[in-house]
Structure 1
Amino acid sequence: MRFIIDLIVTGVAIMLAAYVIPGAEVSGFWSAVLAGVLIALANATVGTILRFFTLPLNILTLGLVSFVITILMVMLVSNIMSGFSVSGFFSAMFFAILTAIIEMILGGLFGTNKVE
């Protein structure tokens, strides 16, 4: 049940962020949910490999490289998915920031951020 709530929260967060950020578009709620799943998968696979190889640089920049990798994963999903698009690096950056903030707020409201 918690997984389904997480998917809904992610879909709503992506829909709201795409509505607010110019240059970010999503065609519907299910496209937003799919984009969320694909961004999570890209971060878990490709993002993890990139973070491993850039670990010294990531330490030197206090995690900024990790944030840039997350932005690149948003851009990657935008390129491979037809119902979700981000027009450039800065749109993807603001989209990633706003999505994370919205997910944090909604997760706190609906209890998906609880540690058990």
Structure 2
Amino acid sequence: MRLLAIWIINALALLALPYVVPSVQVASFGTALVVALVLGLINAVLRPLLILLTLPVTLLTLGLFIFVINALLFQLAGNLVDGFNVGGFWPALLGSIAYSLISWALSALLFPQGKR
């Protein structure tokens, strides 16, 4: 149940994204659901491998290179899914940061980490 809620939260965050970063476009809620799934799969499979392969650069930049990896993976999702358009590297960078912040805020509202 929680996994389904997180998936919907991520889709809602993607729908809010064009209001924050106009160069990122999402066609519909169905597209947002597909993109949330694709981003989840990309982050589960490719991201750890890329972080491991680029570890020297990441250490040299004190972790800031992870933002570049996130932007490139966000742009990859834009290339894989029809109806989800990312206007380039900088919109992908801003979009990935905004997507993370929006989905984090929505998750924190729905699933507070207080006492259980």
- The two structures have a TM-score, normalised by structure 2, of 0.90
In structure 2, relative to structure 1, the CA distance for the partners of 1:113 and 1:85 (3 Å cut) is farther
1:19 equivalent to 2:19? Answer yes
In structure 2, relative to structure 1, the CA distance for the partners of 1:99 and 1:112 (3 Å cut) is farther
When the two structures are aligned, how many residues end up with a matched partner? 115
In structure 2, relative to structure 1, the CA distance for the partners of 1:112 and 1:29 (3 Å cut) is farther
Report how far residue 113 of structure 1 moved.
6.4
Per the alignment, residue 64 of structure 1 pairs with 64
Runs of at least 5 residues in structure 2 that lack an aligned partner in the other structure: none
Q: Within 2, Cα distance between the matches of 1:113 and 1:97? A: 22
Q: Within 2, Cα distance between the matches of 1:22 and 1:113? A: 32
Report how far residue 112 of structure 1 moved.
7.0
- Where does 1:28-107 land on structure 2 (aligned, <5 Å)? 28-107=28-107
- The two structures have a TM-score, normalised by structure 1, of 0.90
* Residues 107, 113 of structure 1: 8 Å contact kept: no
Report how far residue 7 of structure 1 moved.
0.8
Please identify runs of 4+ aligned residues in structure 1 that moved more than 4 A: none
Q: Give 3-state SS (helix, strand or coil) of 2:85's partner.
A: strand
In structure 2, relative to structure 1, the CA distance for the partners of 1:14 and 1:113 (3 Å cut) is farther
Q: Within 2, Cα distance between the matches of 1:93 and 1:101? A: 13
Runs of at least 5 residues in structure 1 that lack an aligned partner in the other structure: none
* Residues 58, 65 of structure 1: 8 Å contact kept: yes
Q: Within 2, Cα distance between the matches of 1:51 and 1:65? A: 9
Report how far residue 97 of structure 1 moved.
1.0
Encode CA deviations 1:6-33: one digit per residue, 9 max, x unaligned. 0111011011012321111011112112
Q: Within 1, Cα distance between the matches of 2:58 and 2:95? A: 21
RMSD over aligned Cα, in angstroms? 1.7
What is the one-letter code of the residue matched to 1:108?
A: A
